[in-house]
Structure 1
């Protein structure tokens, strides 16, 4: 299968691990005579710890351990945003220095300058950075809307080649996680201005580099699924969640599906999907509605939808035999175009996110995809 699809097994190696150093310092730290909690603790445990602190104590922790607090599910949202701004500011200064260093090659200085530019963008305005880790190619997540009061939360889960440099883009912004989430939030607001919604651009997992061996297996999806499940456990309990999973992100969502918090996830929508590591929607073991879309110009249709000896991701989610609710993606051009303004796919995503299922446009104009809801 690798030969027929042109996939390769090449992947660049990562760099140092600044967050590991921060975690090590955190584990040795304390507040007064109290040790700091294990960062792997359940979000509820983390939330209770921060609730027991004074405001000054919380701020000191964010200032001293920004790469920990900013990524800590269960920590107060405003504190995470603040910690990540501090971590980004530090990372920007470091990359600006590297961009001028004579210890780096011209290519290395160029990459450092690009990262510094990305961090400057993420620091601009009042952006709500929910997660930030500069280790290796890096991970990040951003919130649009008020996550603390939202009753409907959408999470955009991207696919291959997503890292700090590709987290957002200037040209055709809707092709990157930030632009995808911003487009969806704008479409939701246009349809229901009074609705309390939030959208998360969630690039907080290590994605495959290109369509190589990592992209053909579920290993990175399994690791990412654990991170997604932790995020969902930390979200406000009054919110209903919809997942929008693109490309390899749909593999992650398929792997995560059986362990998603029951009753929290109403919808899982996959698009440009190579498969969900399942032969049928019912095999996913979730009560969420399963939706699927693919534009006719998306190259993913040429990838064999099968699984053999751990390679490949199973049945095509838009096939009749899979059993998903297949929706129209009219207007979406190619693999990354599903959130482009004016597309039926974006309109459908917004309707699903708002729970307005009767407004969804089904594939071929039929109504079978919303029957029985």
Structure 2
């Protein structure tokens, strides 16, 4: 009987995806951008230092950090000039060097879609022009902040929509800026659009292939932060981004994982995530994601709703948020609680189960 019900739920989900009901829209198939940064072949061939440079495909972030720590300033600058895309996207490279390298890389593209990213004062921690483009930007001082957060977005996010002004709280830049402001600018927040997201909410969004590719990139990214001396972050994972965080949970470097507007984390409960991080979940009553069946069957769907009490996450009140992208809107209960989590104001012993306001 249980299998029969799961089959019916999977069929309902498939119908939802195909017909575009319940807020789902048709989407085009995407090919995930994976592997080492663009320009890695030229980096490997570079013998200017008289020795091999760390292989971007195999060197750990810790190994990369040790390599750069041993270089004199002149050699660091030479590598930035010769290989900005590699230095700017290689996890483990010191944060300030990544900012400098990515500023060069963005300007070198001469592409109108990246003009805003090239504005003075922006701290671009990652920039990959391949595919639809991937970006990570830092709000605050990442190297001195005592508390750090990373925003992981969902569908339809790329270099062009990363910092959109329409519906800003559904874009990583808008979410990150709002979160940092809500903490009184006491934290650093990274808007991380570092994986290939689904376009629309069609078959790509209903399966886990892009999330699996993104999970590996997210795990390495957080290891790179640790290697660069950055504090263990809190992950804020929206919509399909919560699938990425669920698949990365067992190897990601994070103190907390906060999911909101989630279709599921590809797990039956918190224990199934195999993480020591605290797990939080929020969903507002008007979010259309509630109409998507919470099932995972034959590769379709993402499993149990993380706000289900049986899942075991700490539930965050989101009663006054509006729609699928309203969780970071100023003045909402969800944003106030998110800010408290980001600032470390809710201790491990303060909450076990139930709803947090």
Q: Common fold, TM-score beyond 0.5?
A: yes
Task: Please state whether the residue corresponding to 2:139 is helix, strand or coil.
Answer: strand
2:201 pairs with 1:206: no
Q: Choose the corresponding residue for 1:260, options 242, 252, 268.
A: 252
Unaligned 5+ segments in structure 1 are: 96-115
The structural deviation recorded for 1:330 is 3.0
Contact (CA 8 Å) 1:15, 1:135: kept in 2 or not? no
Would the alpha carbon gap of residues 199 and 20 (structure 1) be closer, same or farther in structure 2, given more than 3 Å must change? closer
Partner of 2:10 in structure 1?
none
- Please tell me whether residue 368 in structure 1 is matched to residue 318 in structure 2: no
Gaps of 5+ in 2: 1-12
1:122 aligns to what SS in structure 2? helix
Say which of 217, 223, 234 aligns to 2:224: 234
1:32 and 1:259 mapped to 2: Cα distance? 34
Q: For 2:242 and 2:108, how far apart are their aligned partners in 1?
A: 33
More relative contact order in 1 or in 2 (CA 8 Å, sep 6+)? 2
Match of 2:237 in 1: 245
Q: Which residue in the other structure is 1:129 paired with?
A: 124
Determine the C-alpha separation between the residues in 2 that align with 1:348 and 1:184.
10
Aligned residue among 239, 261, 266 for 1:272: 261
Sort the Cα spacing of 1:10 and 1:279 in 2 relative to 1 into closer, same or farther, 3 A: same
Rounded Cα–Cα distance in structure 2 between residues aligned with 1:161 and 1:357: 32
Aligned-residue offset at 1:56: 1.3
Q: Deviations over 1:319-343 (max 9, x none)?
A: 1221111111133211111111111
Preserved CA contact (<8 Å) 1:66 1:87:
yes
In structure 1, the residue matched to 2:16 is 4
Please name the residue that 2:50 is paired with.
Answer: 33
Instruction: Describe the shift of the 1:73–1:16 C-alpha distance in structure 2 as closer, same or farther (beyond 3 A).
Output: closer
Does the C-alpha gap of structure 1 residues 369 and 248 become closer, same or farther in structure 2, counting only changes over 3 Å?
same
What's the CA shift for 1:152?
Answer: 1.3
Contact conserved, 1:22 with 1:68, CA < 8 A, in 2?
Answer: yes
Distance change (3 Å), C-alpha of 1:317 and 1:16: closer
Pair 1:45 & 2:68 matched: no
Superposed counterparts of 1:164-183, under 5 Å: 164-183=159-178
Matched residues, number: 334
The equivalent position to 1:120 in structure 2, one of 109, 115, 121, is 115
Give the distance between the partners of 2:356 and 2:290, measured in 1 at CA.
Answer: 24
- Pick aligned residue for 1:335 from 297, 300, 324: 324
Change (3 A) 1:288 1:32: closer
Cα distance between partner residues in 2 of 1:13 and 1:303: 21
Q: Deviations over 1:151-184 (max 9, x none)?
A: 2110100001110111011234222110100110
Q: Counterparts of 1:53 and 1:343 in 2: how far apart (Å)? A: 47
TM-score (norm 1): 0.84
**1:269-314, Cα deviation, whole Å (9 max, x unpaired):** 1000000001111211111111110111111000000011011000
